[in-house]
A and B are shown apart, each in its own frame.
Chain A
Amino acid sequence: MASYIVKRCLYLVPTLIAISIVVFIVIQLPPGDYVTTYVMRLEQEGVSLSQHQIDQMREMYGLDKPMHIRYLKWMAGIFRGDFGFSFEWNRPVAELIGGRLALTVAVSLTSLIFTWVVSFVIGFYSATHQYSVGDYLATFIGFIGLATPNFMLALVLMWFAYSRFGFIYGGLFSPEYAMAPWGMGKFFDMLKNLWLPVLVIGTSGTAGQIRILRANLLDELAKPYVTTARAKGLSEIKLVLKYPVRIALIPFVSTAGWRLSSLVSGSVVTATVLNLPTTGPMLLAALKSQDMYLAGSFILFLSLLTVVGTLLSDILLAALDPRIRYQ
């Protein structure tokens, strides 16, 4: 098991290097560079620059160097914690996206855990009480959850929270904390507001996961090894939790990898309605203006999340299922 984990972690290095190269090439594939878009914008405003000025600007941004040199410089910077400079914002990339990414990851992880806990409990109940009233109810609510658009649910919840409890949701932080530096007060304020986005983002995945767990658990409950366990004299709850649940959890865990990044880049509409500082809009703007280091760092982070998520789910899978470990 330990050697498996080490091996998988080592695989991570070439994967990430390959991804960074591809990312770097792809964001520069459109013709021109940031200076081209900048000059074009200036020309639209009636300002024209001489070729010399343009060349100077290229030199200043380091855009005159060949691509592989730029790549190496960028990578060397990343190892020192410097993700390059955003031309558009005139600020270091790290400063721009650091807090934003941390918050997104926090919101996503909480939503993911929420999804898992809720769908595990409901899916487990549905499967062990198949065709009972509770099962039908869970299925019904699950399908409604699946069919309701997230932003709609967000609006309804915000209205409900306000009209019933007088709770005003304006974003992850209340106005008095929005600009405040981090501290206990700000942290608790975030927790106070967090439930709404977590509920909204979380429920979207819950319905699907309930169906997956219910179907898998029902399959597993009918397997001969469950009968064997019963014939040994194990109590029903013990045997269900030890044997079929462990196997039914495999699809749960294996989707964690790609869920992580999809939660980060999540639906733009929902993020806008909920006033969430997700990465989506900023990334889009950076790509449009060819703000290459900002866009590149964003994409690199998203890839990193996917890769790390996949690694985590692989390790969990290996822990759950020995047949994977021994291949």
Chain B
Amino acid sequence: MAASKMDPLLEIKSLKTHFFTHEGTVQAVNGVSLTVGRGRITGVVGESGCGKSVMGRSILNIIESNGKIVEGSILYYSEPGRPPVDLAKLHPRGREIRRIRGREISMIFQEPMTSFSPVHTVGNQIVEVIRLHEKISVEEARKLAVEMLGKVGIHQPAERIDEYPHQLSGGMRQRAMIAMALVCRPKLLIADEPTTALDVTIQAQILELIKSLQREFAMSVIIITHDLGVIAETADDIVVMYLGQVMESGSVTDIFYDPKHPYTRALLESIPRIEADRGQKLTTIEGAVPDAHHVPPGCPFYERCAHAMPGICSARRPDPMEVSPGHEVACFLYTGGEPNE
């Protein structure tokens, strides 16, 4: 993809995160490779259950206790030219990864409602993260927190800082969440469905805020969403995921104007359009995402694909191949059915 040609901040290489449950192993992330460029916004898009959230959490190694990164690497280049740290190799409870969490890489979540502790003030929770990573006094940390709350558009931040999450509206809470995530000036913000629980008007404001702060702090952002509209508004690069695998990746222009993978095309066709004729039926993708307990051996999209080639697509997994600079697609349609190694 475009970003890989530039200076990478994060390089994920064939990452596999599995969950071990009573019903068997869930291959939530099943060999994902992607690159996040320094100072760029990468959108990760896919249907519910495609493993995009788990992928996001794998970066910080904060997956649930029955899950584990079983393979692959997550290379984090904190400074250009310096050797990277492999986050996947760090102990999930160890000191090293904890120094990176909240300071170098932050995360915001879908539910601003429940992502704050209901029994601590917003200020308490923001000051906590500052004091965890920087040796400064409570007063100084508080000043930083107020400043940051003002920056994310909360009015009268000096008063609101002592309020409890339930006293803030949903939009305000997500703003406070962003303030908490960015107060230590991280190099990467992972936003996991940051606007899904919000009204459309608030959604646009929050996305605008993330974009402007991204420019101001010159940080990288990974936006994880199922909403192609959100991606179109914010992202520079796009990664399309399906069943724990990357189907296609490229720049916004590549994906929106020249989609290659049948899954990407189907996703784009299923967006309602204002200019569509009255009575025209909305295209949907037939079937549902297969059960992650039983991942089919071939292309994961095989069963729902309109262009599936029996005997080829069902037999083995297509590897990603570059169709144009920075634009990769994992589909046999572009290899003439030949394995492309």
Residues from 100 to 132 in B contacting A, C-beta threshold 8 Å: 100-103, 106-107, 109-111, 114-121, 128-129, 132
- In the complex, what residue of chain B is closest to A235 when comparing beta carbons? B98
Interface contact B128-A232, CB-CB below 8 Å: yes
With contacts A224-B111, A227-B109 taken as known, whether A234 is within 8 angstroms of B132 at the C-beta atoms is yes
Indicate which residue in A230, A233, A235, A320 contacts B119 across the interface (CB closer than 8 Å).
Answer: A320
Contact code string A220-244 (vs B, CB < 8 Å = 1, else 0): 0001110111111111100000110
With contacts A223-B114, A224-B109, A224-B115 taken as known, whether A323 is within 8 angstroms of B166 at the C-beta atoms is yes
- Interface of A toward B, CB cutoff 8 Å: 223-225, 227-236, 242-243, 246-247, 320-323, 326
Interface contact B133-A247, CB-CB below 8 Å: no
Contact code string B247-265 (vs A, CB < 8 Å = 1, else 0): 0000000000000000000
Using Cβ atoms and an 8 Å threshold, which residues of chain B touch A223?
Answer: 114
Q: How far is the CA of A236 from the CA of B98 in the complex (A)?
A: 10
Using Cβ atoms and an 8 Å threshold, which residues of chain B touch A224?
Answer: 109-111, 114-115
Using Cβ atoms and an 8 Å threshold, which residues of chain B touch A228?
Answer: 107, 109, 115-116, 177
B161 to chain A, nearest CB (A): 14
Interface contact A232-B132, CB-CB below 8 Å: yes
Compute the total of residue contacts between A and B using a CB distance below 8 Å: 74
Interface residue B60 (Cβ < 8 Å from any Cβ of A): yes
- Interface of B toward A, CB cutoff 8 Å: 57, 60, 62, 93, 98-103, 106-107, 109-111, 114-121, 128-129, 132-133, 164, 166-167, 177, 180
Interface contact A229-B117, CB-CB below 8 Å: yes
A127 to chain B, nearest CB (A): 12
Interface contact B164-A322, CB-CB below 8 Å: yes
B163 to chain A, nearest CB (A): 9
Q: How far is the CA of A310 from the CA of B177 in the complex (A)?
A: 36
B334 to chain A, nearest CB (A): 38
- In the complex, what residue of chain B is closest to A222 when comparing beta carbons? B64
- In the complex, what residue of chain B is closest to A246 when comparing beta carbons? B119
Using Cβ atoms and an 8 Å threshold, which residues of chain B touch A235?
Answer: 93, 98
With contacts A224-B109, A227-B62, A323-B166 taken as known, whether A232 is within 8 angstroms of B101 at the C-beta atoms is yes
B194 to chain A, nearest CB (A): 13
Interface contact A232-B115, CB-CB below 8 Å: no
Interface contact B101-A230, CB-CB below 8 Å: yes
Using Cβ atoms and an 8 Å threshold, which residues of chain B touch A225?
Answer: 114-118
Q: How far is the CA of A229 from the CA of B167 in the complex (A)?
A: 20
Q: How far is the CA of A223 from the CA of B180 in the complex (A)?
A: 18
Q: How far is the CA of A218 from the CA of B143 in the complex (A)?
A: 35
A230 to chain B, nearest CB (A): 5
A282 to chain B, nearest CB (A): 43
Q: How far is the CA of A225 from the CA of B115 in the complex (A)?
A: 4
Interface contact A322-B119, CB-CB below 8 Å: yes
Indicate which residue in B57, B98, B114, B164 contacts A233 across the interface (CB closer than 8 Å).
Answer: B98
Counting from the closest, the 8 A-B pairs by CB-CB distance are: A233-B101, A232-B102, A233-B102, A231-B107, A233-B98, A232-B129, A224-B114, A225-B117
